[in-house]
Structure 1
Amino acid sequence: MVATQPKPTRTVSRPSPAPARPHHRPPGRWRQPLLAAAFLAPALSILAVWIVYPTVRTVLRSLFGRDPQDFVGLDNYHTLFTTDTLTMAIRNNALWVAVVPLTVTAIGTVLAVLTERIRWAAAFRTAVFMPMAVSMFAAGVIWHVMAEKDPQRGTLNAVVGVVHDAVNPTGVLATGRPSTPALTGDPGSGIALRDPVRPGQSAPLGLTGIPTREVPPGSVPAAIPAAGPDQITGTVFRDFSPGGGQPGVVEPGEAGIPGATVELRDTGGRVLATTHTSADGGFRFSGLDPGDYRVAIGRDTFAAPFEGVDWLGPKLITPTIMIAYTWMWAGFAMVLIAAGLAAIPRDVLDAARIDGASEWQVFRRVTVPLLAPVLTVVLVTMVVNVLKVFDIVMAVAGESTQDDANVIALAMWRTSFTGANNYGLGSAISVVLFLLVLPALALNIRRFRREGRR
């Protein structure tokens, strides 16, 4: 019989029970909502005072006339869409929305792409963005000065004047008229001798109505050159002698007109040759065949100087303001689009080039689609801005052209605060402007939510 040893017993240590947690009362039912309300209260108060109440009050005020006690219903809205000045403002705003946002976005895109290829990109971007550093009103004042009609003061007309004078030089005389009945015509068509001349003869062409200060510089006393047998000579001179004199005759002290255009014509009026007078007003046509000819002072002699384009006039005031506004915001668009461009993977662009795409194809089919979110931001922002454009219009357009450049925001201000004091109609204009801005705001909110889901 084999004795069995008892199995060893294993002692299992059990963890001591954790001490009982003290019992807490569950948080109150209104604690979290009250805490959230406490944090939101300042913002909600500001929103209610500065946004909600003015909006509701404006809508209600638009239903009353000039007298706040005179309820007119929707008459103010009917007036808004039937008054010529106000309908002009609506048409101008529609033109702004159709042209300016797309133009600013396109220019910003081109500048952003180009600045990636130049060595002095930072300096260029700084220069383009610099207009954003000044206020819109100050920019309007700058452009008002630049667009003045006088080429001596307006920068734009000074530049245009240089090109104009290169193509159509200014005449040496501002005005002039025949001194005797032997001459006929006017500065617009040229002044010619009535009677024909033959080779070997001279033709004095006297003019009056020329002030001393308008005699061309470099003028010397007039003299008639001697004529050869195959030549016709003459002089263009200021036919005026102090103390009297004989009209049509070159007398001592009478000034020659240098630089005048003289035409030799046949009896039918066709121009055969052209020359310019010397310092003493003399001219000469040589190598002529026998026959009758006519001599005339060409109308180029009286070509008026460039007087300037009326950029601030009724026809061009709105395009001028649009150009000024585009100049202001092109830098903003360029900076945003350049930031989006920097985030585009370069291997995508390089792959397109390796596949044989030209730079234009890369830009149109790769760069622009990848920049679509940024371009949408810029476009929507500009739509909202141009709908409420105000200060630059008032700064650039003078009082005489504000009706032609009128926009909705300016119409609201002029109706409410500049003598008319029609707060009812002004409130109606504000409500319409608010409704026009709402679609752009809704589009922005939708885009923000879409991006938040990503």
Structure 2
Amino acid sequence: MEAATVSQGGKRPGRGRARLVPLLFLAPALIFLVVWIIYPTGWTIVRSFFDRDGGDFVAFDNYKDIFTTDTLQTAIKNNVIWVAVVPALVTAIGLIFAVLTERIRWSTAFKTAVFMPMAISLFAAGVIWRVMDEKDPSMGTINATLKVVDDTFGSGGALTTAQPSSPQLTGSTTSGFVLRKPVRAGGTAVLGLTAIPPADMPADARQALQPRPEAGAITGTVWRDFRPGGGRPGVVERGELGLPGVTVELRDPGGGVKASTTSDATGAFSFGDVGSGEFRVAIGSQTFSAPFEGVSWLGEKLITPAVMIAYIWVWAGFAMVIIAAGLSSISREVLEAARTDGATEWQVFRRVTVPMLAPVLSVVFITMIINVLKVFDIILSVAPQSSQDDANVIALAMWRTSFGGINDFGLGSAIAVFLFLLVIPVLALNIRRFKREEN
């Protein structure tokens, strides 16, 4: 019976059909693999040896340009910084979050909040951080927060700029304004200022008052010498507001500061028991300070750290979830045994938890290295055009060279091949790790 089922060629009927069926199922995937991966990869490698237009063979000139062009050197340097900083920080932050969420009651809400940035694209996340990093404190969230801190704890002056309202005062905002006429005990000093922006006027300013002489003391008033409809310079009039918080100094004839005080809501100040002799009354230069204008996060010096922070914000949730899953599989008996033996929480974390999480941590770390080497869209959305050269990375340089207006497809292909070669060792390491875990 068995011999009857064998054909004259010595093969069983239907064996070819049995081989054909799997090929039919694999054919769509193979077609897409060839069309979308193998062919483009091969053509990119070939194209990298030709010039901008693809007409002339230039050998390795494009690869030489990668290491000699300033913008591309900056891209390589930035990628090195990214690889050295971001994967380690993401893994460390994810580990800390994963451990902490085991000890808080609202861990679900915390995990949701941290993981939420993963629900949006990197480009959208970049747009969010582009707005947050704006230099103007009235627009950028980060600088608005810093301004609140600066206003609360800073030692800024009461005004930003001003000018003397009469020739009785001389000086500048950098050195202070000094009253020309010396003053003795029992005398008064009127310090009128003008050219003060309306926004600089303190909210608690009150009607300025003409100073009254006091025996043994020097009294005075510092005020905004301006009244709508006109007025007399150097004279305190109705409708003119005092300047509170102004630093007023009492200087000796040599210019040394003998005493200092600050004006009240009406601009009044007083120096008691000054003794004999003549003194000069002056407005200290510390009265004038520029307002907090914001940190230039999107400038050339801070743009790379700013983009890194945005990227870490997105991926910290991914690392937390993966590490938390590995942490939940650790035997609690091992941890309790370590605590029973007298280990502190830090020792348990460092000598037990972290070593047992080593395979999971390596997964997160290697994954982040691969992602960092390909980082592109978040830089494009965060960095303004003026600082993109300073925030440049290899993937962004490849896109800008090929499609960003330069249209040098030869050099762009060489950059793509260079990036591909950088990713291969990390992929090989990842595959080797998978094989080791299977065995």
Name the TM-score class by shorter chain.
over 0.9
- Offset, 1:172: 3.0
Q: 2:375 aligns with which of 370, 373, 389?
A: 389
How far, CA to CA, are the matches of 1:356 and 1:290 in structure 2?
A: 74
Distance in 1 (CA, whole Å) between partners of 2:254 and 2:121 is 64
- Summarize deviations over 1:258-313 as a string: whole Å, max 9, x none: 33221223344443433222333221122322233332212232222211111111
- Does residue 70 of structure 2 align to residue 89 of structure 1? no
List per-residue Cα deviations over 1:317-344 (Å, max 9, x = no partner): 1000000000000000000000000111
Say which of 91, 97, 101 aligns to 1:105: 91
What's the secondary structure of 1:67's corresponding residue?
A: coil
Contact 1:205–1:248 (CA under 8 A) maintained in structure 2 = yes
User: How many pairs were matched up?
Assistant: 434
CA displacement, residues 349-372 of structure 1 (integer Å, 9 cap, x when unaligned): 111111111111111111111101
Q: Deviation at 1:35?
A: 4.4
Q: Does 1:51 align with 2:32?
A: no
Choose the corresponding residue for 1:259, options 245, 253, 270.
245
Higher mean Cα deviation, 33-42 or 115-124? 33-42
Are 1:283 and 2:269 counterparts? yes
- 1:114-145: CA deviations, max 9, x gaps? 11111111111111101101111110000011
Structure 2 gaps of 5+ residues are none
Amino acid at match of 1:439: P
1:35-434 equivalences under 5 Å are 35-211=21-197, 214-240=200-226, 247-434=233-420
**2:430 paired with 1:449:** no
Say if 1:241 and 1:151 are closer, same or farther in 2 by CA, change over 3 A.
Answer: closer
The 8 Å contact of residues 164 and 306 in structure 1, kept in 2 or not, is answered as yes
Asked if structure 2 preserves the Cα contact closer than 8 Å seen for 1:170 and 1:306, the reply is: no
Q: 1:74, CA displacement in angstroms?
A: 1.0
CA 1:200–1:350: 2 relative to 1, 3 Å: same
Name the aligned partner's letter for residue 392 of structure 1: I
Residue type matched to 1:273 in 2?
A
Relative distance call for 1:198 and 1:380 in structure 2 (3 A) is same
Unaligned runs of 5+ in 1: 1-19
**Cα deviation, residue 188, structure 1:** 2.2
In 1, the alpha carbon distance for the partners of 2:2 and 2:16 equals 25
Give a deviation string over 1:28-80, Cα, whole Å, max 9, x none: 67565544433432222211111110000001111111111121111111111
TM-score by length of 1: 0.90
Structure 2 CA distance for aligned equivalents of residues 169 and 294 of structure 1: 25
Runs of 4+ in 1 over 6 A off after TM superposition: none
* 1:85 CA drift (Å): 0.8
Give the aligned residue type for 1:53.
Answer: Y
| Structure 1 letter corresponding to 2:384 | G
Query: TM-score if structure 2 supplies the norm length?
Result: 0.93
Determine if contact 1:193/1:296 at 8 Å carries over to the other structure.
yes
Is residue 239–residue 247 contact of structure 1 (8 Å, CA) maintained in 2?
yes
Letter of the aligned partner of 2:5 in structure 1? H
